[in-house]
Each structure stands twice: as C-alpha cells, then as structure tokens.
Amino acid sequence: MELIEAIRTRRSIGRVKPDPVPCSLIEDILEAAVWAPDHFHAEPWRFFVMEGEGRSVLGEAYAQIALQQQPDLPEGEQAAVREKHHAKAQRAPVVIAVGAVLPEEGDVRRREELAATHAAVHNLLLAAHSKGLGAIWRSGEPMYDVRMKQAFGLAAKDEIVALVYLGYPAFEPKTPPRAPAADKTVWL
C-alpha cells in the first residue's frame, strides 16, 4: 500500500472480529511506531500490549475508576458495574495502551514529548491499516485518571495518550469526504 493511499483510506474501526492477531504483526506495527518524529530524541513512548486475560488489567482500571465515582453504590450493584467496565477491555482481541514517560518539569519539553508520542500512535495506526488490521484510538476521561497510569506502572508525571483497540475489521468503513487542504491553508 502506498503511503498517500494509506493516509487517505485509514479510518477508525470500532468493531473488529475476535480472531487473534499474530504477535509478528503486532511487533511490526510497534516497530513502525517508534520511528515517529522525536524532537529531543527521548523516545518517550511506552507500549502495553494486552491480549487474552492481559486485557483484564485495562478492565480492572476502568472498573476501579467507575466505582470510585459512585462511592455510595450498593454492593449488589457494584458487580454489575465491574462487569460492564471489564467488558470494555474485551471489545478487541488486542488493546495497546500507549504511555508517555515525561520529564518532571519544563512545560515545553513535556508538550514536545506528548507530541512525539501522539505521532507514534499515528504511525501505529497507519502501520496497522497497511497490514489489513482495523484499529481505533480511544481516549476519554478514564484514560487520564491516576488509576489508569498506575495500572500500567506509570508515574503521576507520565500520561496515557491512547488506548488502541486492534483486530481484523468486522466491516468496510466508509470514507467521508474531506475539505481540500487549500480550504484550510493560508499562504503568507
């Protein structure tokens, strides 16, 4: 697949088949991710690949965050909440949490390291697409909770920047039209 074609045709795939993804494909995708632009050459990205029962790490983090937000929930209802949030981690055969190991200080440096890690996620998504896999970059409030960082052994100063759900596409995505670059460009 040509690069421009991959960029134009990659779409978020939220529904994937339960079929396992070979480790060799995951390794190829991660190898592409680490070639992202990195201004300070710090390679701040960290990848936490979850398959099978390993996805319970994410499910338990989701559940702990949800239960903490409902401290007065009766014990009988807690099990249902826990089950619901554990199920979120089972939506794909592979989930890759992407973290950024960040410096303690220096707002500009922190922003640069986050940008590099976001670029690594984009490389990962393009590589997955080129290998015939579907993926979606999920985020949301739980991703920013300290419990999510702790689930993956990250320090309070670090960040989770993506939860990438990965598998073989269960449908053919539509390619919505995009405004031409000229519509969004100012030449000075």
Q: CB 11: neighbour CB atoms within 10 A?
A: 17
Question: Per the annotation, where are the binding residues for FMN?
Answer: 10-12, 39, 137-139
Q: Which two tokens stand for residue 176?
A: 């919505």
Q: Which two tokens stand for residue 89?
A: 């981690």
Sequence-ordered alpha helix ranges (H) in the chain: 3-9, 23-33, 56-68, 75-88, 107-130, 146-151
Are the C-beta atoms of residues 151 and 116 closer than 8 Å to each other?
Answer: no
Question: Per the annotation, where are the binding residues?
Answer: 10-12, 39, 137-139
Q: Considering only CA atoms, which of 58, 134, 122 is closest in space to residue 96?
A: 58
Q: Which two tokens stand for residue 63?
A: 């559940």
Are the C-beta atoms of residues 142 and 148 closer than 8 Å to each other?
Answer: yes
Residue with token string 């993506």? 162
